[in-house]
């Protein structure tokens, strides 16, 4: 298969299309929904970006600039309209050590290298391999991420200035208690109630935006003393400026940043592609994996050159957008522009928004993201799948998403291999010519070779044995070695063996490996018989 050229790949990139479909135009009502959805997402992005900047040990504006740049670039170039990207905790926890040991400039360099790696992955079209992630791993992914989002919101229930944000929750600081805690919980509950009931009353305004707006209005109107966005940090700033990372351009620098860049690239792509699949299931869209890889990489290269901390797709904000009605690129673009306007002009107003309102929105995201039906599914699916769901959920919470997905895929693959290894069996009968025929069923691969060899009674079999692979398939080198092993045993016993009805792919594999020579006279129907006796005098087959 020829390697893809850049021009071939470029043809696959979907240029910004603000329509719902190629044949459907944008109505004023659709634009209104997209803009309000984008505004809602932007409001939810602010505390997340600030919190993740604290996690990484950098200035809050570094997180906000990353959220703006990554959100804008991926909204324009991404593979799935409706997805929201920005600064994320998954990336933040990876770069803590890099920033602590070498400073923010090395972080910016690592983010640029991370982006280059992601672009390369997209160009090579490796994003398609996300389809190898089994559904139980996806369920564990969304459940684990929902728990992580929930734990991250607990930071807001600590006295402002005392909380320390960690990758998956909180550490240190003093918890709110008494009246302040009750007031905080009451406002969170109010926001959640507004979000729940607003769609039943009107769809003119997205429910999350209504929840934030009404709760913020009441807090400001009555002057309630509750934690607000401004208590985390000031979000006021200027336009991000072009900035080449101030690091030595040496092999030593590359040696420092490359390991972090590879991990960030892997974590970012896994979370982005899984989010792409999740959003695709909700919106009924398919494809776009490689394009999303390129978009994420381009966004990270740009943000690294403009003083951002790097990021990837955000499942929480993506769910807010989708649930608010966002279906086109307009919502993502507008969310990024709103975020920039907050930084430039709207900081005094945005900093007055109570954190309780944003916590309420995220709690509703948690409820909507968690796959509650997985409890029912786990009682119906094979035990291995149920174990994978729970395992991925736990590992996501305790470590990180990339580790959880890799572990889940490995466990699922091993379980699949084991189940297929147990499928190998054979039916036997004696032909009119007096030959014993073994009709093999099940795949022959590394996991089933022992079972395959145990099928044969070399001592008790007649002088001619036929192995029929019509219901089987030779998969790998271990299978070839198993066939050689059986051939050697029959040769030692002075008996002849024939192979029949291999698929063309299996036949080519055997021939390419140099194990068997072609002689189609034994198998005129398939023209795939190989007479091993041509070479050794014992084995005939395909």
For residue 10, pLDDT over 50 is answered with no
Would you state the pLDDT for residue 74? Answer: 96
Do 106 and 184 lie in one domain? The reply is yes
Do 129 and 241 lie in one domain? The reply is yes
Neighbours of 216 (CB within 10 A): 23
Would you state the pLDDT for residue 527? Answer: 38
Residue 249 lies in a domain: yes
For residue 538, pLDDT over 50 is answered with no
Residue 522 lies in a domain: yes
Do 304 and 443 lie in one domain? The reply is no
Q: Please state the domain count of the chain.
A: 2
94-113 pLDDT, tens digit per residue, is: 898 899 999 999 999 999 99
- 408 touches 391 (CB < 8 A): yes
Q: What is the pLDDT averaged over residues 35-52?
A: 90
Q: Where among 321, 341, 376 does a domain terminate?
A: 376
Do 426 and 360 lie in one domain? The reply is no
Q: CATH number, domain at 520? A: 3.30.750.24
Do 496 and 360 lie in one domain? The reply is no
Do 90 and 144 lie in one domain? The reply is yes
Would you state the pLDDT for residue 521? Answer: 40
List beta partners, residue 443: 473
Do 341 and 459 lie in one domain? The reply is no
Do 358 and 426 lie in one domain? The reply is no
Q: Where among 376, 411, 433 does a domain terminate?
A: 376
Question: Which of 488, 467, 439, 437 lies closest to 530 in space, CA to CA?
Answer: 467
Neighbours of 223 (CB within 10 A): 6
Do 331 and 258 lie in one domain? The reply is yes
Would you state the pLDDT for residue 133? Answer: 87
Do 363 and 476 lie in one domain? The reply is no
Q: How confident is the model at residue 403 (pLDDT cuts 50, 70, 90)?
A: confident
Q: How confident is the model at residue 513 (pLDDT cuts 50, 70, 90)?
A: low
Question: Which pair of tokens denotes residue 345?
Answer: 């002009």
Q: 4 by DSSP, 3-state: which?
A: coil
Residue 389 lies in a domain: no
Would you state the pLDDT for residue 535? Answer: 41
Would you state the pLDDT for residue 540? Answer: 40
- 170 touches 154 (CB < 8 A): yes
DSSP 326: -
Q: CA distances (Å), 307 to each of 52, 106, 266, 310, in order?
A: 15, 11, 21, 9
207-252 pLDDT, tens digit per residue, is: 999 999 999 999 999 999 999 998 888 899 999 999 999 999 999 9
Residue 529 lies in a domain: yes
Do 185 and 104 lie in one domain? The reply is yes
Question: Which of 479, 477, 470, 530 lies closest to 502 in space, CA to CA?
Answer: 470
DSSP per-residue codes, 250-319: SHHHHHHHHHHHHHHHHHHHHHHHHHHHHHHHHHT----HHHHHHHHHHHHHHHHHTT----EE-HHHHH
Q: CA distances (Å), 313 to each of 2, 268, 275, in order?
A: 31, 7, 7
Do 318 and 258 lie in one domain? The reply is yes
Q: CA distances (Å), 91 to each of 8, 47, 119, 308, 533, in order?
A: 31, 16, 17, 12, 60
Residue 8 lies in a domain: no
Q: Where among 376, 410, 441 does a domain terminate?
A: 376
- Print burial letters for 391-404: b (CB count within 10 Å at least 16), e (below 16): bbbbbbbeebbbeb
258-305 pLDDT, tens digit per residue, is: 999 998 998 899 989 989 988 888 887 877 899 999 999 999 999 999
322-379 pLDDT, tens digit per residue, is: 989 998 999 999 999 999 999 999 999 999 999 999 999 989 988 988 989 899 989 8
For residue 152, pLDDT over 90 is answered with no
> In whole numbers, what is the pLDDT of the chain averaged over residues?
85
Residue 15 lies in a domain: no
The boundaries of the domain holding residue 238 are 31-156+175-376
Phi and psi at 346, nearest 5°, equal: -100, 15
d(CA 275, CA 255): 31
């Amino acid at each position: 298969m020829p390697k893809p050229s850049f021009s071939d790949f470029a043809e696959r990139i979907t240029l910004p299309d603000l329509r719902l479909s190629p044949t459907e135009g944008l109505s004023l009502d659709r634009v209104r929904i997209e803009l309000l959805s984008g505004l809602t997402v932007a409001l939810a992005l602010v505390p997340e970006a600030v919190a993740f900047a604290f996690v990484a040990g950098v200035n809050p504006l570094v997180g906000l600039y990353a959220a703006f740049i990554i959100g804008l670039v991926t909204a324009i170039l991404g593979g799935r309209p409706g997805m929201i990207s920005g600064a994320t905790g998954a990336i933040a926890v990876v770069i803590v050590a890099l920033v602590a040991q070498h400073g923010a400039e090395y972080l910016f360099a690592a983010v640029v290298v991370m982006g280059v790696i992601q672009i390369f992955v997209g160009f090579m079209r490796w994003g398609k391999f996300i389809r190898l992630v089994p559904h139980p791993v996806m369920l564990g992914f969304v459940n684990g991420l929902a728990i992580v989002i929930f734990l991250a919101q607990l930071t807001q229930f600590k006295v402002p200035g005392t909380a320390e944000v960690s990758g998956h929750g909180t550490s240190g600081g003093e918890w709110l208690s008494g009246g302040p805690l009750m007031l905080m919980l009451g406002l969170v509950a109010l926001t959640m109630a507004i979000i729940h009931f607003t769609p039943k009353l009107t769809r003119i305004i997205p429910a999350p935006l209504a929840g934030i707006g009404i709760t913020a209005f009441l807090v400001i109107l009555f002057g309630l003393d509750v934690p607000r966005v401004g208590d985390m940090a000031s979000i006021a700033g200027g336009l991000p400026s072009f900035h080449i990372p101030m690091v030595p351009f040496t092999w030593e620098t590359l040696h420092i940043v490359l390991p972090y860049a590879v991990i960030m690239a892997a974590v970012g792509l896994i979370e982005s592609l899984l989010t792409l699949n999740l959003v695709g299931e909700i919106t009924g869209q398919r494809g776009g994996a490689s394009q999303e890889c390129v978009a994420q990489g381009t966004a990270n290269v740009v943000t690294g050159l403009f003083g951002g901390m790097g990021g990837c797709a955000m499942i929480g904000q993506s769910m807010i957008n989708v649930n608010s009605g966002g279906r086109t690129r307009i919502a993502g673009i507008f969310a990024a522009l709103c975020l920039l306007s907050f930084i430039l002009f709207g900081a005094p107003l945005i900093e007055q928004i109570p954190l309780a309102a944003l916590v309420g929105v995220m709690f509703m995201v948690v409820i909507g993201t968690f796959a509650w039906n997985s409890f029912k599914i786990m009682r119906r699916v094979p035990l291995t799948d149920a174990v994978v769901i729970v395992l991925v959920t736990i590992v996501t919470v305790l470590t990180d998403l990339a580790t959880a997905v890799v572990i889940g895929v490995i466990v699922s693959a091993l379980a699949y291999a084991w189940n297929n290894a147990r499928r190998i069996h054979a039916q036997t009968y004696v032909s009119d010519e007096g030959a014993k025929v073994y009709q093999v069923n099940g795949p022959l691969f590394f996991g089933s070779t022992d079972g395959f060899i145990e099928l044969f009674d070399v001592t008790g079999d007649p002088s001619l044995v036929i192995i029929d692979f019509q219901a089987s398939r030779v998969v790998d080198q271990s299978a070839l070695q198993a066939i050689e092993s059986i051939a050697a045993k029959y040769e030692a016993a002075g008996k002849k063996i024939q192979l029949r009805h291999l698929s063309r792919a299996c036949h080519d594999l055997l021939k390419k490996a140099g194990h068997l020579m072609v002689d189609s006279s034994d198998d005129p129907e398939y023209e795939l018989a190989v007479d091993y006796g041509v070479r050794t005098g014992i084995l005939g087959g395909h």
